[in-house]
C-alpha cells in the first residue's frame, strides 16, 4: 500500500493514496469514446445519407438520358403512359424522368434547395413506385420478377429520403 504523509493537528498522519479503479477508468474511457462517436454520427450521418441518396439519383437519372443504357426504359415509358393517360410516352417520358432524377441528385449532392429537391423527389417516387399498382400482374408471376425487385428496393430510398427530409425540414434555430 502506498501512503502519503499529511500534516494535520495531530502531527504527521499517514493516509493511504487513492488508487484508480481500472474498471471505473475503462468505463469512463468507454463513455467518452461513445460520446465522441455519437457526436460524430449526429453531425455527419444525415449529410452523408443525403449525398449518397443524391449520387444514386444522379447516376440512375443520367443513365436514362442515353437510350439503351437504363434497364428499365420500357417500364418508365409504360408508367408515364399510364400516369399521363397516354400524353407522355416513349423517349420524352424517359428524358423527363432523367431530368427530374438528375436534378434531384445534383441538388442533394451539393446540398442546396433541399426542400425543392425533396418535393421533386416525392413526385419521382410516385412514378417509381406506381408500376407496383399498374403492372402488378407483370411484376409478380407468381413471385417477384427482377424488375419488381428493382422497384421494391426503392423502399429503402424512400426511407432514406424521409430521414434526409427530417433534417432539411426542421425549423432553423432563432436568435433572440
Q: What is the pLDDT of residues 42-83, one digit of tens each?
A: 899 999 999 999 999 999 999 999 989 988 899 999 999 999
Let me know how long the chain is. Answer: 176
Q: How far apart are CA 61 and CA 59, in angstroms?
A: 5
Q: What's phi and psi for 133, nearest 5 deg?
A: -90, -50
Read off the pTM.
Answer: 0.78
Query: Is a pLDDT exceeding 90 seen at residue 34?
Result: yes
122: CB partners within 8 A, 6+ apart: 161
From first CA to last CA, the distance across the chain in angstroms is 57
Give the mean pLDDT of 11-32: 79
In 3D space, the residue among 42, 48, 41, 56 whose CA is nearest the CA of residue 158 turns out to be: 56
CA distances from 67 to 34, 56, 70, 86, 102 (A): 49, 19, 7, 20, 15
Amino acid at each position: 500500500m502506498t501512503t502519503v504523509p499529511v500534516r494535520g493537528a495531530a502531527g504527521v498522519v499517514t493516509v493511504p493514496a487513492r488508487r484508480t479503479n481500472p474498471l471505473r477508468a475503462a468505463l469512463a474511457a468507454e463513455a467518452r469514446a461513445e460520446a465522441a462517436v455519437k457526436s460524430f454520427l449526429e453531425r455527419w450521418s444525415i449529410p452523408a445519407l443525403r449525398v449518397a441518396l443524391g449520387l444514386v439519383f444522379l447516376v440512375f437519372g443520367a443513365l436514362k438520358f442515353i437510350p439503351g443504357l437504363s434497364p428499365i426504359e420500357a417500364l418508365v415509358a409504360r408508367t408515364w403512359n399510364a400516369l399521363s393517360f397516354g400524353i407522355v410516352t416513349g423517349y420524352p417520358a424517359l428524358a423527363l424522368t432523367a431530368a427530374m432524377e438528375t436534378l434531384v441528385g445534383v441538388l442533394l449532392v451539393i446540398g442546396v434547395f433541399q426542400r425543392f429537391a425533396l418535393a421533386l423527389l416525392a413526385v419521382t417516387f410516385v412514378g417509381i413506385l406506381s408500376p407496383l399498382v399498374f403492372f402488378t400482374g407483370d411484376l409478380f408471376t407468381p413471385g417477384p420478377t427482377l424488375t419488381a425487385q428493382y422497384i421494391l428496393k426503392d423502399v429503402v430510398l424512400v426511407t432514406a429520403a424521409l430521414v434526409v427530409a427530417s433534417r432539411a425540414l426542421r425549423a432553423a434555430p432563432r436568435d433572440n
